[in-house]
Structure 1
């Protein structure tokens, strides 16, 4: 039995029945308006995972609402998404995040002086969803749309720490065992083979670091499931690349005392898995390069520390050694649990990850400040009614600028906005 606690308060799964806890949670939900936010591509509606999520959430009658931050190609897809959730017992809002009216609105905001034209993807959808959900929600929980093992325990355990204000928790992060449903194979390679060894290597090279220790205290720092209070959500800058999860942890570190953070065990967890990729701009290699930039940026922001050229050379060597040790450990763990394990494939992944360290760090140093969506507190200082306008135009099915607000229609021709159709909304 694992009773371990560290800097981050850890809520373990001890296998106890949760019926009484769930009944208590339902009553608390009615006292604290709570919304679930799901960023989603329309293609997820063709897969069974989203049906499972809908059917599980249907049992949480005390929810204040569900917000689907949807990337869709046509109004018919938005209508189909609305029909899909028509019979749940709480309000459901489908926000067409890449719809013509939303793109026109955000292009107008950009031209008036606030840069909100981030690269389309999960971060962009999360930023829009947080803005709209925060109009009604006191608490917000985020889940992805591709979770194939979604159960009542997921929202129950994610929200419970926030529903007792006397506990003082403002942010909850999930952790879990990444095992595929079909094979029982270990996944989560970006965490197991890259992030965890990189964090350990940086600590060896740079010495004691409160920020690195903070990140290492999370059992699964790349988990895309988290929940927070409205006031925290309103003050987070949202990264729009694969550094989203590390970037959000960096933002939380800036705004919240560690004693107000918790992580919860969701048990076995499975969703879509990502390939390593044939080069540094594909698959997990691209993801890990962007995660590395987010991590290095956090070290600069919080501790004013950067790698020297000598440390970068050492990082390649130390990381390779630490990551190879992890492969050996995972192979041993998998064998004693009767799980299939491709040690050769994992060793090759470590080789690929090692090769991206130097170009990744060099590229980061050329543009260290990066780019994130502005916090909603910043956005409302620019336009106090922006959330309401986004809510209204995001509900529009208009396919031309005629469906956008008058301020947008009267502005100069907007800069082109890239389409988010091909970007996955999920990390590995």
Structure 2
């Protein structure tokens, strides 16, 4: 297995931005891209979502297909978002692009998709109303209707004032520009909050320490595990929802079912015989914040998913004993001190604030959850399988195609096509 990771950095100067735009505009027709923005109903009600829609409608010239998906919404609320937020930008999208794009609206709680989920669950297990479901269904639409498209994902709750056209452009350029020959793109950023620019990303920092400690303890256990942890540690921000992938890659991509959606996105490129990966810097970034309980739940799901991946790499044999698991957490304390000093220096250099004491307090709660999840993992080392790649299951693909075509026939799917606004 061979992978190549390069950091493209940030589109920082006018010249860099202009070149990226020109390359995308030149090749976007030949190498089409779908932009998927999976959003919960709560986030869609926020003005941040309006800002994202408006910027993509007026400044995005390189997307061939827009996939707006709404989750956890009843029919009435989904219609309100459609009528009040998405329909008003269709004319702008039509006017400001040379690509004659398609605009798709996927209501994940539509009756036809609900029927699909009911039919699919006996085959693949529970399909929770989580981000992974939205990403999986959006990619399923692309696989069925636009299989040659690359696909880009971005969150729908990026804070107004920090979001710009550079977000989708940074992700799209490596996939569209033929000189780059890229299969997978992942963004990183500085997660900052408020006037004091407090550095967030606590779960990301916790796992950076944990991965380093695991590598020290488990690196000699199995070369695949050592390579896997080394691979993950090459990424500055593990859990960014801003990712992109080529069409052939996306056709086989699997997705986690919940908070593990981002961490499981690493497993697929790592397993490929050859994968060209690019990292892009989106600068300062912020979106919806979870309380400590939500972060603890996130840690639990991510940790379990990572253990399941490592379990597979050791050919179905247990990776960690209780003794080794505790050794990892003991070593964690040493790496924690080193990382805290590094983050404090980084924040001083960049004008951010950093609450190291709060980080240490959170890490104690996170470690408690890790211990709990490890005990659960011993009972069920396989964990929950991710949603499968669409190309791997003709049965699921045919079932989804039937549901989406039923939505399309009722005027519930395609909003703009061939220059014709259909709502």
TM band (smaller chain) = 0.7 to 0.9
CA-atom RMSD, angstroms?
2.3
Deviations 1:327-362 (A, max 9, x none): 333234334544333232112112112222222212
Contact 2:150 2:244 (C-alpha < 8 Å) held by counterparts:
yes
2:199 is paired with a residue whose SS is coil
Cα distance between partner residues in 2 of 1:210 and 1:26: 38
Task: Report the alpha carbon displacement of residue 393 of structure 1 after superposing the two structures with TM.
Answer: 4.1
Deviations 1:268-289 (A, max 9, x none): 1111122222xxxxx1111111
Contact 2:10 2:283 (C-alpha < 8 Å) held by counterparts:
yes
Match of 1:312 among 325, 339, 355: 325
Cα distance between partner residues in 1 of 2:372 and 2:332: 15
- Could you state the TM-score of these two structures normalised by the residue count of structure 2? 0.84
Contact 2:172 2:244 (C-alpha < 8 Å) held by counterparts:
yes
Range 385-394 or range 18-27, more displaced:
385-394
User: Where does residue 71 of structure 1 map in the other structure?
Assistant: 71
Shift in alpha-carbon separation, 1:92–1:81, aligned structure 2, 3 A:
farther
Contact 1:97 1:394 (C-alpha < 8 Å) held by counterparts:
no
Contact 2:33 2:176 (C-alpha < 8 Å) held by counterparts:
no
User: Where does residue 8 of structure 1 map in the other structure?
Assistant: 5
Structure 2 residue 238 is the aligned partner of structure 1 residue 226: no
Task: Report the alpha carbon displacement of residue 197 of structure 1 after superposing the two structures with TM.
Answer: 0.4
Contact 2:390 2:397 (C-alpha < 8 Å) held by counterparts:
no
Shift in alpha-carbon separation, 1:336–1:168, aligned structure 2, 3 A:
closer
Shift in alpha-carbon separation, 1:122–1:314, aligned structure 2, 3 A:
same
Shift in alpha-carbon separation, 1:267–1:366, aligned structure 2, 3 A:
same
User: Where does residue 29 of structure 1 map in the other structure?
Assistant: 28
Contact 2:151 2:244 (C-alpha < 8 Å) held by counterparts:
yes
1:138-157 matched pairs, under 5 angstroms: 138-148=149-159, 149-157=162-170
Structure 2 residue 265 is the aligned partner of structure 1 residue 248: yes
Cα distance between partner residues in 1 of 2:262 and 2:353: 28
Task: Report the alpha carbon displacement of residue 14 of structure 1 after superposing the two structures with TM.
Answer: 6.1
Contact 1:178 1:188 (C-alpha < 8 Å) held by counterparts:
yes
Structure 2 residue 372 is the aligned partner of structure 1 residue 376: no
Match of 1:207 among 219, 227, 231: 219
Query: How many residues are paired up?
Result: 384
Where does the alignment leave 5 or more consecutive residues of structure 1 unmatched?
A: 1-5, 278-282, 400-428
Task: Report the alpha carbon displacement of residue 168 of structure 1 after superposing the two structures with TM.
Answer: 2.6
1:390-409 matched pairs, under 5 angstroms: 390-394=403-407
Contact 1:239 1:247 (C-alpha < 8 Å) held by counterparts:
yes
Task: Report the alpha carbon displacement of residue 386 of structure 1 after superposing the two structures with TM.
Answer: 3.0
User: Where does residue 325 of structure 1 map in the other structure?
Assistant: 338
1:118 is paired with a residue whose SS is coil
Shift in alpha-carbon separation, 1:392–1:306, aligned structure 2, 3 A:
same
2:210 is paired with a residue whose SS is helix
